[in-house]
Amino acid sequence: MGSNGVLTWTWVALSMSLASSAFAQTASEQTEQPSHGVAPQEPAMQEPGAQTPLLGPRSNLTQTTPQQVPTTSQPTDDDLQIPPTLAPLVLDTSSTPSAPPRASAPVRFGHRGQWVMMGSSNSLGISNETFSASSATYFNVAAAIGIDHFVANNVSVGVDAEAGYSNYKSYGATTLSETTWASFSGGIRFGVNVPLGESFSWYPRLTLMLASSHSRTTPLSSSDGAPVGPPATQSSVGPAINLYTPVLAQPASHFVVGFGPRLQHDFAVTRGGPYDGSQSTWLSGEFVVGGWWGGATPDSAEPESAERARGAELGKAAAPAFGEAGQIVLSSAATAWVGYQSYSRSKGSTTDVEFQPSIDYFLVDAISIGAATFFGYSSGTGLDANGTETQFSSTDFGIAPRLGANLALTTFASIWLRGDVGFGTVSASVSSVSGSNEHSRTRTWVDISAPFLLHPSSHFFVGAGPFLFHELSDKDQYDSENRATWLGLSLVLGGWFGGSGAHAT
């Protein structure tokens, strides 16, 4: 073999040796690095600056050292350009949609730390009623506050206090009398919440209180010319108990409605007046609207304050706000109850029935429509200032559609303007051995209110504001007009469900 042949075989052997080393290095790197799902035939990624394997007979032997790795692609034997290194993969997340906000886990009524207010033990009212064609008047101011706090899961302690004063002139069977009346009661309340499911519970509450009342009735005139008797006073001071055991439903977080029986007994003995020596007992079944705020939050739930703050940063409340389209509102204006009051050592008793469904619906954001329909009945046996037994009864019916506008001031406050126009009838009778007084009336009215509302938690509000009630007409069976006007201040509390935030808690 000549020198040219020796050189040729030497060159071939050297080339095969280098190629074999390169393939061995590549196989070793693929064995040491996990593929993470990459197909076996694809080359493994290498760190920048690492030696690029030499593939094919056209590899340049002068570029095999790390210091000489080119920054441009090198040709392969099939003329494909392969980059010497693979840069780390960088994802552009600027246009990636953000994940939807986490839904808050529901928080159930009765958790430790919650504060509760119910419409049955909270009220505020100042009103003065006058009539255009009679001497009857009615002035009343009253306030009641009742708040419960869950000191442990499903165990609550609360306070209940009420005070009131009234001065009114009213007609009996044959007399016009003026009565002043003042009362105060207060005590401590204990409650136990018994869960009955995801959205229902039984919440009995027992209030131990001290109650006092004082009244004075002065006959002013007699329709039959008979002389009027002397003023009569009566008073009572002593302990009392009140037991209310409603079953509650939670249509939305922080908002509850319910119905249940109530028993109240005054151990104080009335002194003076026609009910001297008597104790009073009240039995009833009552509808209640209420709500709660505060309390422990489940680990999986976002605190409502944080949720609202996050929504404010995004320019829209994450938690639904009061007044959004589709919401259904129930307030303390909705009532339903039946009651019976009796007096020991006396024939006096009263039976009352009142049913007033009242509901509002936000047709669009901030604009609500609603209506109240009511039916009331009362009858019983009473004693006038002279102790004469009197039979009385009354029935009233009415309907009042209304329109409202909610003016949001902040996330936690608003003013809810509402106005309604109503139509109704009233019939009443009072009779005694001295005579009788029967009356039936047809009336129309307007009622405007503007309560300032606070929203301590989602789905629940409480507030107070002025109202004006004015009868446009009030005619009796003799076509005599006797319109009434009320101007006052009242408390309102309630809650809502539905709307775009129906899923929120």
In a domain, 388, yes or no: yes
Phi-psi region of 198 (alpha: psi -120 to 50; beta: other; left: phi over 0): alpha
In a domain, 155, yes or no: yes
Provide the H-helix boundaries in 291-344: 304-313
Any residues with CB less than 8 A from the CB of 338 and at least 6 apart, and which? 284, 285, 351, 352, 353, 354
Longest CA pairwise span in the chain (Å): 161
In a domain, 504, yes or no: no
Please tell me the predicted confidence (pLDDT) of residue 205.
Answer: 98
Please tell me the predicted confidence (pLDDT) of residue 316.
Answer: 47
Q: Tell me the one-letter amino acid at 398.
A: G
Phi-psi region of 225 (alpha: psi -120 to 50; beta: other; left: phi over 0): left
In a domain, 221, yes or no: yes
Any residues with CB less than 8 A from the CB of 462 and at least 6 apart, and which? 117, 122, 291, 453, 454, 456, 491, 492, 493
Please tell me the predicted confidence (pLDDT) of residue 397.
Answer: 96
Spatial distance between the Cα atoms of 170 and 168, rounded to a whole number of angstroms: 6
**SS3 of residue 504 by DSSP:** coil
Q: How many domains does one find in the chain?
A: 1
In a domain, 472, yes or no: yes
Any residues with CB less than 8 A from the CB of 368 and at least 6 apart, and which? 323, 329, 360, 361, 362, 403, 404, 405, 406, 416, 418
In a domain, 320, yes or no: yes
Spatial distance between the Cα atoms of 348 and 96, rounded to a whole number of angstroms: 76
**Which neighbouring-strand residues pair with 147?**
117, 159
Range of the domain at 426: 114-498
Count CA atoms within 13 Å of residue 106 on its CB side.
13
**Which neighbouring-strand residues pair with 266?**
240
pTM of the model: 0.73
| Kind plus residue range of the DSSP H or E element containing 26 | helix 3-32
In a domain, 246, yes or no: yes
Q: What is the pLDDT along the chain (505 residues), one digit of tens a residue?
A: 444 444 444 444 444 444 444 444 444 444 444 444 434 444 444 443 334 333 344 333 333 333 444 444 444 444 545 455 444 554 454 444 555 544 455 678 999 999 999 998 899 888 888 777 778 888 999 999 999 999 999 999 999 999 999 999 887 767 788 999 999 999 999 999 999 998 999 999 999 999 999 999 888 887 767 777 788 899 999 999 999 999 999 999 999 999 999 999 999 999 988 888 999 999 999 999 999 999 865 544 444 555 455 444 544 445 689 999 999 999 998 889 899 999 888 888 999 999 999 999 999 999 999 999 999 999 999 877 666 788 999 999 999 999 999 999 998 999 999 999 999 999 999 888 878 888 899 999 999 999 999 999 989 999 999 999 999 999 988 888 888 888 888 999 999 999 875 444 3
The token pair that represents 238 in the structure block:
């002593």
For the stretch 81-112, what's the b/e string if a residue is b when 16 or more beta carbons lie within 10 angstroms of its beta carbon? Answer: eeebeeeeeeeeeeeeeeeeeeebebbbbbbe
Spatial distance between the Cα atoms of 72 and 113, rounded to a whole number of angstroms: 69
**SS3 of residue 1 by DSSP:** coil
Please tell me the predicted confidence (pLDDT) of residue 428.
Answer: 92
In a domain, 125, yes or no: yes
How close are the terminal C-alpha atoms of the chain, in Å?
Answer: 94
Q: Which of 373, 364, 365, 426 is nearest to 402 (CA)?
A: 373
